[in-house]
């Protein structure tokens, strides 16, 4: 479906700021996610050390990515799995479709996967008459609402409970559920009961992967609902859609990340389910798929290696940066118009989609640095946002008014005498305008400021003017 575009960021933001349901849903961040994360971090004395270790591990893997990916492929194949290298989103979609067609699949169940979102897999499958069924509760909600996720770990975080009640009633009434449920547990149960049979009916189960283990050829997913396990063990085929940078050397290395992931994300010590898959069902296994496929997506990532934004490839998709971002808290994820949102999205999206298409995203940040502070793998997000701003500026992707304004400002800033003269005149003027109340309610050339705030008036004379005068008086006396 057509949804918001990153180019319309400002319009999207305006709509978001006026959306009372969104505003009430987003308070969840400050009352839940933020204090929960802090509590979990405080309870683990070695969090900092693990975080440092995680960062080093990721940097090591990125420096030897080819080695670990080939090792993963070898071991995955040895366990009976298949690995599909896909340079682009289109390649990945085609591979998934081919696998689905090999068993004439009518429905596929899906665990939560941001890579599936990145390649817009659901729309593609629907176009080819295969019904995708989201089994993660949040993903299920937004699938009913026909919306993209607004958060990388809480896809329906923008929805209030009331909105979910309405949505379930609207879509489940035809399935005989005509009572509007309002208690969270009852809503969960209703979704669970409706989804139950779908797991058995599905021909293919698609999940993402939090980690790929090079030494064993395994993939790991973490969930809180157990939906991933049913998605990947019940159907004939399990497809893992994932990307290059998810590989880690060993199982033990994965545990380093698992210990910081849930704590950073939701403030849990550990996700409720951590599931490791190695190849298809083996002789003697009680359950499991007959085929196990890994779709290994590049889609612009290998081009980030060795670039100024390589650090972004360390990201473990915990979402802490967006939870703590003042801009995200105000406007929510849909405003970004991209699959990845918040600070990590504003850094990753220009790499995946191009700078021109996404130029608002790196600019729409106060650079407050809280994202970097809470990032468990120390990605210098503000620095990377500035990198994109610099590239956009150098490529001429900056409005001419802004460029002109900067040039005029720089012209004066490089000429202190002229600057001082201009400053003295301007401040006298502003002080005059604000003389009655010490502030201005409206200034035609500063609407961006005065629409929501008064502008405090300057004292009148500049500091340097007064200082020099004082120095002269001191010298004279």
What residues numbered 249-268 form the site for another protein, per CB under 8 A? Answer: none
From candidates 173, 410, 421, 425, binder to another protein by CB under 8 A: 410
Which segment (115-123, 158-166, 247-255, 418-426) binds another protein by CB under 8 A? 418-426
Say whether 277 sits in a helix, a strand or coil.
strand
From candidates 106, 120, 466, 472, binder to another protein by CB under 8 A: 466
Q: CB of residue 261 vs another protein: minimum separation in angstroms?
A: 23
Q: CB of residue 462 vs another protein: minimum separation in angstroms?
A: 5
From candidates 101, 170, 196, 439, binder to another protein by CB under 8 A: 439
From candidates 95, 370, 375, 376, binder to another protein by CB under 8 A: 370
Rounded to 5°, the CA angle 13-14-16 comes to 60
DSSP line for 340-372:
S-HHHHHHHHHHHH-TTTTTHHHHS-----HHH
Contact predicate 412/349, CB 8 Å: no
Half-sphere exposure of 280 toward its Cβ, with a 13 Å CA cutoff? 18
Q: Between residues 184 and 416, which has the closer beta carbon with respect to another protein?
A: 416
Structure tokens at 393: 């500026």
| Residues in CB range of 143: below 8 A, 6 or more apart | 122, 132, 133, 134
Q: CB of residue 469 vs another protein: minimum separation in angstroms?
A: 11
The 11-50 contact track toward another protein, x by CB under 8 A, reads --xx--x------------x--------------------
Which segment (82-90, 137-145, 241-249, 445-453) binds another protein by CB under 8 A? 445-453
Cβ density class 82-107: b for 16+ within 10 Å, e for less: bbbebeebebbbebbbebbeeeebeb
Q: CB of residue 391 vs another protein: minimum separation in angstroms?
A: 7
DSSP state of 33: I
Q: Between residues 120 and 466, which has the closer beta carbon with respect to another protein?
A: 466
Say whether 227 sits in a helix, a strand or coil.
helix
Decide if residue 85 touches another protein (CB under 8 A).
no
Decide if residue 404 touches another protein (CB under 8 A).
no
Say whether 102 sits in a helix, a strand or coil.
helix
Give the C-alpha separation, 329 to 289, whole Å.
Answer: 41
419-438 residues in contact with another protein (CB under 8 A) are: 419-420, 423, 426-427, 435-438
Residue 145: Cβ-neighbour burial (10 angstroms; 0-12, 13-18, 19+): middle
Binding footprint of another protein, residue count (CB under 8 A): 72
DSSP line for 405-472:
HHHHHHHHHT-HHHHHHHHHHHHHHHHHHTTTTSEES--GGGHHHHTTS-EEPP-SS-HHHHHHHHHH
From candidates 390, 421, 425, 429, binder to another protein by CB under 8 A: 390
272-331 residues in contact with another protein (CB under 8 A) are: 326-327, 329-331
Decide if residue 446 touches another protein (CB under 8 A).
yes
Q: CB of residue 434 vs another protein: minimum separation in angstroms?
A: 8
Which stretch of DSSP H or E encloses residue 295?
strand 291-297
Q: Between residues 6 and 289, which has the closer beta carbon with respect to another protein?
A: 6
Q: Between residues 175 and 426, which has the closer beta carbon with respect to another protein?
A: 426
Decide if residue 120 touches another protein (CB under 8 A).
no
The end-to-end CA distance of the chain, in Å, is 78
Q: How far is CA 123 from CA 2, 11, 107, 168, in A?
A: 11, 25, 13, 21
Q: Between residues 198 and 389, which has the closer beta carbon with respect to another protein?
A: 389
328-367 residues in contact with another protein (CB under 8 A) are: 329-331, 363-367
């Amino acid at each position: 479906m057509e949804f918001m575009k990153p180019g319309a960021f400002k319009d999207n933001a305006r709509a978001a700021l006026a959306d009372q349901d969104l505003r009430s849903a987003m308070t969840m961040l400050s009352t839940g996610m933020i204090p929960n994360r802090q509590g979990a971090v405080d309870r683990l004395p070695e969090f900092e050390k693990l975080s440092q270790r995680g960062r080093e591990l990721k940097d090591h893997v990125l420096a030897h990515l080819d080695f670990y990916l080939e090792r993963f492929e070898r071991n995955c194949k040895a366990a009976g799995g298949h690995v599909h290298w896909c340079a682009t989103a289109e390649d990945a979609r085609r591979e998934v479709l081919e696998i689905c067609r090999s068993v004439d699949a009518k429905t596929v169940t899906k665990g939560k996967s941001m890579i599936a979102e990145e390649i817009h897999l659901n729309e593609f499958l629907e176009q080819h008459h295969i019904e995708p069924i989201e089994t993660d509760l949040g993903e299920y909600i937004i699938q009913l609402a026909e919306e993209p996720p607004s958060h990388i770990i809480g896809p329906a975080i923008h929805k209030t409970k009331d909105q979910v009640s309405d949505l379930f009633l609207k879509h489940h009434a035809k399935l005989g559920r005509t009572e509007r449920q309002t208690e969270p547990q009852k809503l969960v149960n209703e979704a669970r009961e409706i989804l139950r049979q779908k797991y058995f009916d599905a021909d293919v189960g698609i999940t993402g992967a939090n980690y790929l283990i090079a030494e064993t050829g395994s993939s790991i997913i973490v969930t809180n609902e157990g939906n991933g396990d049913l998605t990947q063990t019940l159907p004939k085929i399990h497809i893992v859609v994932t990307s290059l940078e998810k590989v880690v050397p060993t199982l033990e290395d994965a545990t380093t990340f698992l210990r910081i992931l849930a704590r950073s994300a939701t403030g849990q010590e550990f996700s409720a389910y951590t599931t490791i898959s190695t190849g298809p069902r083996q002789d003697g296994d009680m359950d499991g798929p007959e085929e196990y496929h890994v779709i290994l997506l590049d889609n612009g990532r290998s081009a980030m290696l060795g670039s100024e934004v390589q650090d972004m490839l360390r990201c473990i998709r915990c979402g802490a940066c967006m939870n703590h971002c003042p801009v995200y808290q105000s406007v929510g994820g849909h405003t970004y118009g991209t699959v990845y949102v918040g600070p990590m999205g504003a850094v990753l999206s220009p790499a995946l989609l191009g700078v021109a298409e996404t130029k608002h995203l790196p600019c729409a940040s106060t650079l407050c640095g809280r994202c970097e502070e809470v990032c468990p793998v120390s990605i210098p997000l503000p620095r990377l946002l500035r990198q994109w701003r610099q590239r956009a500026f150098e490529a001429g992707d900056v409005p001419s008014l802004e460029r002109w304004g900067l040039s005029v400002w720089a012209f004066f800033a490089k000429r202190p005498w002229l600057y001082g003269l201009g400053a003295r005149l301007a401040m006298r003027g502003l002080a005059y305008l604000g003389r009655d109340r010490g502030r201005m309610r409206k200034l035609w050339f500063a609407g961006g400021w005065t629409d929501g705030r008064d502008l405090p008036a300057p004292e009148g004379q500049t500091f340097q003017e007064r200082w020099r005068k004082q120095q002269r008086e001191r010298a004279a006396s």
